[in-house]
Amino acid sequence: MSDPDVIVVGAGAAGMVLSLPLSASGVKVVVLEQARTFAREFRN
């Protein structure tokens, strides 16, 4: 993998909402997340 343009720390709502449009526009994005899996239910 080549060097990323952006590194997003945390794959929560804000991190994923940020990384999706960046990636779609051609920016090389790496998302770092501590948890092994994502929560399957929505938080209120």
Range 6-32 burial, b when 16+ CB lie within 10 A, else e:
eebeeeeeebeeebeeebeeeeebebe
43 versus 3: which is more confidently predicted? 3
**What are 1-39's pLDDT values in tens digits?**
689 999 999 988 899 999 999 999 999 999 999 988 776
In this prediction, residue 13 carries a pLDDT of 86
pTM over 0.95: no
Is 27 within 8 Å of 5 (Cβ atoms)? Answer: yes
In this prediction, residue 3 carries a pLDDT of 96
